[in-house]
Amino acid sequence: MPLPPLVDPAPLLDPAEQERTLRHAALAGLGEIGQRRLAAAHVAVIGAGGLGSPVILALAAAGVGTLTVIDDDVVDLSNLQRQVLHRVADLGRPKTDSVERVTRDLSPTTRVHARRERLTAHNAADLLRGADLVVDGSDSFVTREAVARATETLGVPLVWGALQGAAAQVTVFWSTPPDGAARVVLDDLYPTGSAHDAPSCAEAGVLGPLCLQVGGLLATEAVKLIAGVGEPLLGRILVVDAWAGAVRDVPLAPARRSSPAPIVAATDIPEIEPERLAEKLDTGAVLLDVREPWETARGVIPGSVLRPLADVLAAPTALASPAGDGPVVVVCQAGGRARRAAEALRATGVDASVLRGGYTAWIAAAGAPAGANT
């Protein structure tokens, strides 16, 4: 649903800025008032890499008044395939230098606070305090969790994106949204610690043009929230498959808050030991793997039904057909997401349990290499 504007409009823009942003002023729903809201906004961007680069370019060009950009890295030659903010001449220099130069060239009225330091759980809240909105373009789940916790504490919206290979996700989290909107946070998609084993860009690769597409989507969500236009992705997740040329809009509402049926506490969900899994499957149980495609591409337990967690939470009853009236064993990498899925399934009457320790524990029990499909 549409949300109220995040910031009050700035005073009238100077003539040069009015002319520079004429196409926004002519845009239905945004207009001159919306452009002044952008000018009054303070957006913090985490990372000046593959996702941060197009976000910074787009928000500066859009006329956002203040950008805080946090990145402690330097430009490497392998960055230039996707990190369009930087140039060959920038090699070896701090990425924050590129941020300041490019932003100044695009939008002289935009104030830039470039912070060359590593964001951690200890300093995240201090680094982000004062921002109206945060865009997370980092490539580490440790960093993403630190950013998410800080924005939850500060009560500001978090525009969030993740990209692996040729697939991506985009959504909005907000711990204290306006009245009538659901509270949705990172734990509703990835419980703490559940995705720390994601492969790096060097391991999984990353499609350069997709960074621009996803960065554009992140910047658009920021504009929508600041100006109060359109329908932000709060409570929805956009799933992009570049190779298939497909974009899906999946509802993301926690089962424990959205289902009218009683929810079984996570501590009450039965667990299956990895050594007993084959016995359970022999009795007719369905094995449901709720990891992401980039994870299942590295190995699955034979016979698994593959459905990412977001899909299960959006439509838990959709598993009824393959499961019949029989039990379901849910597996993820380590167990956290499996519990979330099992809660949603049990709320619909499915006899769901989780594989203790997830795929990692099954691999260890089977004595197989981590990427095995045996």
* Cα 160 from Cα 171, distance rounded (Å): 5
Residues 6+ apart with CB under 8 A from 295: 197, 198, 333
* Cα 75 from Cα 321, distance rounded (Å): 51
Is 332 an annotated catalytic residue? Answer: yes
Helices 31-40, 208-227: crossing angle, 10 deg rounding? 100
Q: Which pair of tokens denotes residue 255? A: 């089962």
Q: Please, are residues 314 and 289 in contact by the beta-carbon 8 Å criterion?
A: no
**Residue 37 CA to chain centroid, in angstroms?**
25
Residues 6+ apart with CB under 8 A from 207: 82, 165, 166, 242
Instruction: Determine which one of 332, 342, 347, 355 is catalytic.
Output: 332
**Residue 172 CA to chain centroid, in angstroms?**
8
Which among 240, 261, 237, 264 has a CA at the least distance from the CA of 249?
Answer: 237
* Cα 190 from Cα 206, distance rounded (Å): 21
Q: Please, are residues 10 and 203 in contact by the beta-carbon 8 Å criterion?
A: no
Q: Which pair of tokens denotes residue 138? A: 């980092």
Which among 56, 58, 52, 54 has a CA at the least distance from the CA of 73?
Answer: 52
Instruction: Determine which one of 201, 247, 253, 305 is catalytic.
Output: 201
Catalytic center residues:
201, 332
